[in-house]
Structure 1
Amino acid sequence: MAAEYLDEQPDGPRIGIALSGGGIRSAAFNLGALQALQERGVLRDSAYLAAVSGGNYIASALMISAAHTSAELENGKPLWGRGSPEERRLRLNSDYLAPGHEGKLWMAASVVYGFIVNYLPFALTAVIAGRLTGWVLAALGVRLTDLRLNGLHLPESAVLTALLAVGAVCVLLALGAVCYRRMSDNPGDYGESAWERFGARVLLVAGAIVVVLLLPVLTRLYALASTKALAWLFQEPPETFQSTVGRIAAGLVWLVAALLAAAAALMLSRRLRARRLMLLLASLAAAGLLLVPLLSALELANRQPRPSTVDVIVLAAFVVVVLGMAVFVHNRRYSMHLFYRERLNSAFALQRERDERGCIVAAPISYREKLYFSDLKPATDLPKLVVCCAVNVTTDDVPVGRFAESFTFERGRSGGPLFGYHDTKRLEQRNGVAGTELTLPSMMAVSGAALSPLMGRFTYPPLRFLMALTNVRLGVWIKNPNHAAAKRVEEDCRSRLRRAARRMRDGWFEPGAWYVLREALGAAKSTHRYIYLTDGGHWENLGVVELLRRRCTHVLCFDASCDRDGEGLDIGRAIALARSELGVDIDLDPRPVLPDSAGLSASMAVAGVMSYPPPGNQQAQLVYAKAVLTEEASWDLHAFKHREPRFPNHSTSQQMFTDEQFEAYRTLGHEAGEKAVTLLNIPARRRAQAVAHGNGRV
């Protein structure tokens, strides 16, 4: 267990603050909590500030403002304190994702653009496969109808007979491999046996043959359904489907239907009771997006077996587009990550300056200024910031069902238990493709990438495939620091030809449609050239475990997660992970902070005891504060609850707050911070001594 810890056991108190995820709801709540800690001197005396998603919006904003604001501009208002210019600026931008009508239209245009660029190589590849298959069958003298089974009779087509024979042989070979292994009783290592690999591969061949046998039936159904759809929607005769306009119209109709099913599946994804319906709709939508261009092209090739010159030119152009996108279009340039990062930068990356009247205001730092985490050196005393993310891995490198591991960014070191820790400057990709640099706003966006095809234990395969195809992704592929390509130092090339060749080679390996397909199939390995980072909540949503990994003796945890049923799931997961990952036992009863049937809690915070494993057997304290409403809460919060029954559990998908909503959560966080400091019970003198001896702020 000792190897899992990053810091040595401290001589005195080492305070860590954990800010949970939860989008703008969490940002407002945790802002209030930090303001309370700031006013009581606890923030100054803390060693670490671990933050996830919305909590990290505020934690990173504090770091950025501290590094870009001179001391003479404080003017009695601490950075991000109550009534500060930063708080006032954020209140004006609590709808930061889509401010005003123009912002909403721009976001809609960004979503459509991302979908088109993301889906285009898959649609074109399906068209290419359909046309080539049809032409090859025509060259062999085989019609599509010849591949259909003739009831229970032996097939008349020699090609179909051969396919059935090969499929049967593959199944028998797989069963024979299993029989040999069992009879010899010499299994070897699990998953590494040549017999296991052989059996799996021949079964994949048999599965591919089944898919091929289904294509003629599906193609016929597609043609019949398309003629019916054109007749019903546009009152067109059946022969209209055979025209170019008719085929395009039919394809668009089915694509729109698939997208509507996709939208319904995504809306149902957060409703546990509708999980089965969501999975069904997601499966139908994903299948439709792939099968519509494939079946349309296959049906056309079957009717027109001899390609014209125009057909060949068009197909060649499709091939060029697919290959060009594979080389020159980086996945991060069309995912929603850049939009998200830009919006976070505008709302939270603030610095103080004087306006034309001489007043001190908070102004956004230009997006063009690259805010690299490793370069930020706060001018004021702040804890070390730990940006909590999750790296998604679908192999047995992580425990079964977890599908993710912790990955954190700090100013000096970044990484996780699975990949080790590396110099942050090395991971920032400063010389990569424009827009792919890992700035601190980019890390903020990754830490808050709650919506992605791969989401750790929250991943559902049908939904995963659908989200990958429709570009519903905020996660980011970054270079694997342990891959040989990341360690290789490129030599300077003066030859333009060699530079161009190297650029094409690097572009081919950079994340594009191939990595989108890996997301869709859930094929994320720790050995790939790129690894996939998403929301820290996909591993642990509170940041508590990362503070324990740094051997904090006192942990203040602020939980703003959405918990309508009062089940305390996130603190439960944190307790389980602390035990399984670090051997730390947490004795905490959160029931006093969980709401009753009336939606009220007995307290906003409770204290518990943490026990580190030997050597040392160190005892530590955990104060857990939650975004809940109590009888003693400020009356304006009760009045707001009366008007907004969802308070304090607005959905995380609601990322645009009014000022009233923002103030309600900020006030709730401030009250939680006051309660947590009371339970912390460390004298200010002892905290200051810990700082002086290196156990507090660094």
Structure 2
Amino acid sequence: MLSWPRPGSPSAVARYVYGGGSPDPAVVDQVRAALSTDFWFIAGYGLALAGFAWIFLLWAISAFGQLSAKYVAVAVGLTVAADLAKHALLDCAIRHHDSANLVTAAAAASIVKWCAGLLALGGFLATLGVFLRALVPWSRRLREWVSERAERWRWLGACSSALTWPWRWLRTRVREVAARSRWFQACSPGKTEIACSGRTGATWWRDLSPKPPPRRVKTDELSWGNAYYVPGAEDIRKSREGDPVQAICLSGGGVRSACIAMGVTQEFSKAPPIKLTPKIRRRFRRRAAAPKLIDAVDYVISVSGGGYTAGARLLAVHDNESPLLSQRFEEGSPEFDHFRRHSSYIADSPGELLLALTNVLKNLTASMAILFTLPAVLGSVLGYLLSRSVFSFAVMVPVPNQKLDRSPSLLCLTGHSASWYAVAAFALLAVLFTSAAMLVEFVSWKRWSEWLKLRLQSLALGSAVFAVLVLAVVAGLPALMRLCWWLGERTPGNQGGAAAAVSGLVGLNYLAAIAAMVWKDRDWLSKEATKLSSLKRLLPPGVVALILVMATLTVLLVAWLVALGCFAASVFQHATADGKENALVQMPFSSWWLPVLLLLTMLWVGSVDIASISLNPFYRYRLGQAFAVQRVKHADHWHAEAYDRNKFTWFNEFGKVPAGGPKFVFAAAATIAGKDKPAPGLNAVSYVLSHDYIGGPDLGWLKTPKLFREAPPRIKRDLTVLTAVAVSGAAFASAMGRHQKGFEKLLAISGARLGTWLPNPRFVANLAGAEKDECIDPADNKRPWPRSLPAVRGAGYYYRELLGFNYSDGRLVQVTDGGHYENLGLVEALRRRSRLIFCVDGGGDTPPLASGLADALRLAEYELGVTITFDDFPGYSLRDLTPGAGEPFKKGDPFYSLKDRLAKRTVAVGLITYPAASGLTEEERRGVLIFTKAVLCRDFPEWLLTYAASNGVFPHDPTSDQWFNEGQFAAYTEMGRIMGRQALKCVEFLTKVGKISNPTAPDLEKLCGAKGRTAEPALG
């Protein structure tokens, strides 16, 4: 196919002219010679692309990557086959003069070649990513080795060995790097281990996961049995020597829940322990102060806002005195006063509010850069390729151009029938393969026929995919460019209009993100949508939120395509200016600012960590300034001082109480999609963080101290107590578990995300299991697992959040608010087989329902086999917590208006029953749940009742309100103290009747009257 530029042609004439005229014998000979030579070129690039595709196939990890690798491999074959077909058709066209059909067929083959070639180039990009991923651990180990020996090198003198040591060092390092490489190990008879900075060379993952103990669980309860596996929990249970394991659960609910939890724990810091075993007594025997209840429990499990208080108490005891938990945050203490002064922790001044809004804008801008860099680069490349005659997709054969109403720069985008022939070829193949599959079903029902049918259906799907690809390139892309050009021509001021459009897009996203975060009734949109009678009849629950997600992604796709089309049209315009072949190169220097800016943005996007451009660092910092405090002494005066921002609260150092005390567990949630996703509507699994282990029963566990040693620096920065507090309270995320409402993708787009990406225990377990062919799924034994955790959580993780690609076997998992799994922490206490649980519910459930408790009870029954009933302790009935159940004030009383909001008490008692799968003996399978909830009662202090009468929303201020004033702080803290006192009175009452150590003791006559009603306990 011949083409030549016509620089002198007027703008109304197409830039390229193809074919035409009588064939010149000399030209025909030159074309044949060129075609013969080109066969060697085809063989060369075919082998190169095949090699890249082969590497991609071998090293693809995820299911999506493996599927993409297969399509890339097929694309390589299509590219080579189409190129050979084009050469053969051109040769025939030269021999048979005026054969328009052969020319058109050659053009169609050329179109298929370039369209498939674009996909085949994905193998090269994937191979580049594989090698970069393989170089990361090598470079990290080399950097650590250099750092360790820097001090030694400093003392090297000017001796003769100084001239030779670089070569000896280089030779040794090359050998060590080779010993760590995958290919060297595959060829060596044994494994090579090299100690480096505490690592075991290439086998750092071997001891990172704890080995689960053998357990005897019936097969029909195997799922429950697996859900109870928590490393270290059995040791704590044995330390109780048969007495119940005790736990305190602090629920989520933002600063509202934090204030309530603070009040409750202050009361628990005054009360004596329920029972001390000899081992626990030995733990505190050298302490001057006697331990209190909060010191002697086994677990403090917190979720979201409850974690604010838990983290504050944990960090407050890390000072020179190493006090007990009960000796900090007492009423009137310096640290409690600091908490009170910073209860509006996000921003309590105009300057801090401006800083918070600036952070949101910064993250939004960074997210927009990540989001639109790819279409900008891809559009620029495609626009340039379309401008070149040899790469032209839209016009491959001579056509007279009469469409003079179109922009001169877009005349080359005139379509031709060859484009549609290329699309029709793949569409025809899809139809043929589908028909063949149907025929196989018709003629046979045997096993081989099912195999053949599935293969034919796969070929049909592949053909349809390539038909869509060709259609998108030869018709969709030119149409998109024309549309964007048309819109640009009609935009006043062109560049100014484009800038206004970009600014408007960023501004709209900014306002929408702010609204999504601070709007008190964020569920309003989905609620209003479900109110429509037609939707209620047609759509099941949850579908409305899914429709909102799809609508958001659709709008985003439109914006993405517009960006691609604009950049493609712009580059095409400059490349075809005045019909000059090198018009793009001859652009003035002042016009190169956009490509340079695009290149710099690409470099930045390739190196940025998305956790650093989210709201998580800012959120963590603000939480630290309010809750991470220590008691310090200056000039004989004690006061509370916030932790320095540059001081890392590493989990292995700050995650436990130095003086001895409970184990702190920060409950978060990991978002999982795909074949291992949890039950519909749940969308998340348990992921907890503590000083010794992180993870959960679904994904597995990792040893926190060893993970800290092995993790890359950027991930290591997230293994802190403050990060655990922030992540456990990451209410805003691109995936929100059971609380999906439809606006989550907007938060991902805007960068208003509080969660982060942390190491996946299942990935580490698969890495260790693949060495011994012991993976649960045999197919995983042959997968090319990466040998390191990612150094940065790059742009790929941003797109994963946006598209919901949360694989259960990925190197990292997205970790968000624990309330997205379960908001009370009760399930985590039951998972650790606690038999005396104080559950503090500071959530904002809509009265009169206890939705948080209902979710926890349902989850415990279906995931652990645990049942909790509230009928065994009538004196502490759950219905007594219902607003309206309490005795109202008399008519005319100033508090009469509270009649429908008053409950009888704040405490209810439930009987816990564990299944055999828990591993407990028959005598140990009963426990007591002391559940206390934030509700109004008649016997509250008068000032608190006055506050409630003046604030109708109390005690259910929305979680979006994180700007508590002095009145809110005092009201919720005092309510927490009352809840704590009533819970302690309940313990005293149950202890008298023997219900703490043995909830099923046969002395119910002490608890119940003649008619089975419980004697009224004092509320306290």
**Percent identical across equivalent pairs?**
27
Alpha-carbon distance between aligned partners in 2 of 1:626 and 1:507, rounded to the nearest angstrom: 42
Q: Indicate the SS of the match to 2:352.
A: helix
Structure 1 letter corresponding to 2:329 = W
Q: C-alpha offsets along residues 213-241 of structure 1, whole Å, 9 cap, x if unaligned?
A: 6666665555566666x5xxxxx4xxx32
Q: 1:646 to 1:206 in 2, by over 3 A?
A: farther
Alpha-carbon distance between aligned partners in 2 of 1:2 and 1:94, rounded to the nearest angstrom: 42
Structure 1 letter corresponding to 2:853 = I
Superposed displacement of residue 194, structure 1: 6.7
Matched, 1:351 2:630: yes
Q: 1:138 to 1:219 in 2, by over 3 A?
A: closer
1:28 to 251, 254, 259: 259
Matched, 1:166 2:426: yes
Alpha-carbon distance between aligned partners in 2 of 1:178 and 1:590, rounded to the nearest angstrom: 60
Q: Indicate the SS of the match to 1:580.
A: helix
Question: Any conservation in 2 of the 1:468–1:517 contact (CA below 8 Å)?
Answer: no
Alpha-carbon distance between aligned partners in 2 of 1:530 and 1:566, rounded to the nearest angstrom: 40
Q: Indicate the SS of the match to 1:366.
A: coil
Question: Any conservation in 1 of the 2:883–2:935 contact (CA below 8 Å)?
Answer: yes
Alpha-carbon distance between aligned partners in 2 of 1:288 and 1:541, rounded to the nearest angstrom: 37
Superposed displacement of residue 668, structure 1: 1.0
Q: Indicate the SS of the match to 2:714.
A: coil
Q: Indicate the SS of the match to 1:621.
A: strand
Moved more, 193-202 or 388-397: 193-202
Superposed displacement of residue 101, structure 1: 1.7
Moved more, 341-350 or 394-403: 394-403
Superposed displacement of residue 550, structure 1: 1.1
Superposed displacement of residue 323, structure 1: 4.5
Task: Give the structure 2 partner of residue 37 of structure 1.
Answer: 268
Question: Any conservation in 2 of the 1:128–1:315 contact (CA below 8 Å)?
Answer: no
Alpha-carbon distance between aligned partners in 2 of 1:93 and 1:12, rounded to the nearest angstrom: 40
Alpha-carbon distance between aligned partners in 1 of 2:449 and 2:624, rounded to the nearest angstrom: 53
Alpha-carbon distance between aligned partners in 2 of 1:582 and 1:637, rounded to the nearest angstrom: 40
Structure 2 letter corresponding to 1:663 = A
Superposed displacement of residue 339, structure 1: 0.9
Q: What is the RMSD computed on CA atoms of the aligned residues?
A: 3.8
Q: Indicate the SS of the match to 2:849.
A: coil
Moved more, 539-548 or 557-566: 557-566
Alpha-carbon distance between aligned partners in 2 of 1:436 and 1:185, rounded to the nearest angstrom: 58
Q: 1:398 to 1:285 in 2, by over 3 A?
A: closer
Q: 1:308 to 1:20 in 2, by over 3 A?
A: same
Matched, 1:392 2:654: no
Task: Give the structure 1 partner of residue 732 of structure 2.
Answer: 451
1:308 to 561, 584, 587: 584
Task: Give the structure 2 partner of residue 273 of structure 1.
Answer: 527
Superposed displacement of residue 540, structure 1: 0.9
Structure 2 letter corresponding to 1:286 = L
Q: Please, what TM-score do these two structures have when normalized by structure 1?
A: 0.83
Superposed displacement of residue 294, structure 1: 2.2
Q: 1:209 to 1:626 in 2, by over 3 A?
A: farther
Q: 1:628 to 1:211 in 2, by over 3 A?
A: farther
Matched, 1:362 2:629: no
- Counterparts of 1:84-99 in structure 2 under 5 Å? 84-99=333-348
Structure 2 letter corresponding to 1:273 = K
1:516 to 794, 798, 802: 798
Task: Give the structure 2 partner of residue 407 of structure 1.
Answer: 687
Task: Give the structure 1 partner of residue 372 of structure 2.
Answer: 123
Structure 1: 5+ residue runs without aligned partners?
A: 149-154, 231-235, 489-504, 691-698
Moved more, 571-580 or 596-605: 596-605
Alpha-carbon distance between aligned partners in 1 of 2:458 and 2:697, rounded to the nearest angstrom: 29
Superposed displacement of residue 295, structure 1: 3.3
Alpha-carbon distance between aligned partners in 1 of 2:866 and 2:854, rounded to the nearest angstrom: 14
Q: Indicate the SS of the match to 2:722.
A: helix
Alpha-carbon distance between aligned partners in 2 of 1:330 and 1:106, rounded to the nearest angstrom: 21
Task: Give the structure 1 partner of residue 618 of structure 2.
Answer: 339
Alpha-carbon distance between aligned partners in 1 of 2:791 and 2:658, rounded to the nearest angstrom: 40
Alpha-carbon distance between aligned partners in 2 of 1:378 and 1:574, rounded to the nearest angstrom: 28
Structure 2: 5+ residue runs without aligned partners?
A: 1-223, 273-292, 407-414, 530-543, 577-582, 769-786, 871-876, 885-898, 999-1020
Task: Give the structure 1 partner of residue 856 of structure 2.
Answer: 574
Q: Please, what TM-score do these two structures have when normalized by structure 2?
A: 0.58
- Counterparts of 1:20-419 in structure 2 under 5 Å? 20-41=251-272, 42-68=293-319, 70=321, 78-139=327-388, 140=392, 142=394, 157-163=417-423, 165-167=425-427, 169-170=429-430, 173=433, 184=445, 236=492, 240-241=493-494, 244-257=495-508, 259-260=510-511, 267=519, 269-271=522-524, 272-274=526-528, 282-283=552-553, 285-287=555-557, 289-301=559-571, 303-306=573-576, 308-309=584-585, 310=587, 317=596, 320-356=599-635, 358-376=636-654, 377-401=656-680, 402-419=682-699
Task: Give the structure 2 partner of residue 495 of structure 1.
Answer: none
Alpha-carbon distance between aligned partners in 1 of 2:948 and 2:905, rounded to the nearest angstrom: 17
Question: Any conservation in 2 of the 1:450–1:534 contact (CA below 8 Å)?
Answer: yes
Question: Any conservation in 1 of the 2:760–2:810 contact (CA below 8 Å)?
Answer: yes
Moved more, 463-472 or 299-308: 299-308
Moved more, 298-307 or 451-460: 298-307
Q: 1:177 to 1:468 in 2, by over 3 A?
A: farther
Q: 1:619 to 1:506 in 2, by over 3 A?
A: closer
Superposed displacement of residue 62, structure 1: 0.7
Structure 1 letter corresponding to 2:227 = E
Matched, 1:469 2:469: no
Q: C-alpha offsets along residues 311-345 of structure 1, whole Å, 9 cap, x if unaligned?
A: 99567646643552354211222111111111111
Alpha-carbon distance between aligned partners in 1 of 2:648 and 2:463, rounded to the nearest angstrom: 51
Q: 1:459 to 1:92 in 2, by over 3 A?
A: same
Task: Give the structure 2 partner of residue 600 of structure 1.
Answer: 902
How many residue pairs were aligned? 650
Superposed displacement of residue 371, structure 1: 1.2
Question: Any conservation in 2 of the 1:251–1:296 contact (CA below 8 Å)?
Answer: no
- Counterparts of 1:509-658 in structure 2 under 5 Å? 510-588=792-870, 590-596=878-884, 598-614=900-916, 615=919, 616-617=921-922, 618-658=925-965
Q: 1:560 to 1:211 in 2, by over 3 A?
A: farther
Alpha-carbon distance between aligned partners in 2 of 1:521 and 1:219, rounded to the nearest angstrom: 26
Superposed displacement of residue 454, structure 1: 1.6
Structure 2 letter corresponding to 1:65 = A
Moved more, 247-256 or 275-284: 275-284
Q: 1:120 to 1:273 in 2, by over 3 A?
A: same
Alpha-carbon distance between aligned partners in 2 of 1:319 and 1:524, rounded to the nearest angstrom: 29
Q: Indicate the SS of the match to 1:457.
A: helix
Structure 2 letter corresponding to 1:653 = S
Matched, 1:420 2:690: no
Question: Any conservation in 2 of the 1:348–1:364 contact (CA below 8 Å)?
Answer: yes
Q: 1:44 to 1:258 in 2, by over 3 A?
A: closer
Alpha-carbon distance between aligned partners in 2 of 1:687 and 1:84, rounded to the nearest angstrom: 35
Name which structure has the greater RCO, CA cutoff 8 Å, separation 6+. 1
Task: Give the structure 2 partner of residue 4 of structure 1.
Answer: 227
Task: Give the structure 2 partner of residue 499 of structure 1.
Answer: none
Superposed displacement of residue 632, structure 1: 2.6
Alpha-carbon distance between aligned partners in 2 of 1:673 and 1:79, rounded to the nearest angstrom: 17
Q: C-alpha offsets along residues 456-481 of structure 1, whole Å, 9 cap, x if unaligned?
A: 23335x63433222212111112224
Pair member with larger Rg? 2
Alpha-carbon distance between aligned partners in 1 of 2:723 and 2:568, rounded to the nearest angstrom: 43
Superposed displacement of residue 446, structure 1: 0.8
Q: 1:654 to 1:265 in 2, by over 3 A?
A: closer
Structure 2 letter corresponding to 1:395 = G
Moved more, 523-532 or 117-126: 117-126
Moved more, 321-330 or 276-285: 276-285
Q: 1:629 to 1:163 in 2, by over 3 A?
A: farther
Q: C-alpha offsets along residues 113-162 of structure 1, whole Å, 9 cap, x if unaligned?
A: 1222222132122112222223333331638999x9xxxxxx85432453
Q: 1:525 to 1:639 in 2, by over 3 A?
A: same
Q: Indicate the SS of the match to 1:67.
A: coil
1:680 to 966, 987, 990: 987
Q: Indicate the SS of the match to 1:68.
A: coil
Superposed displacement of residue 680, structure 1: 3.0
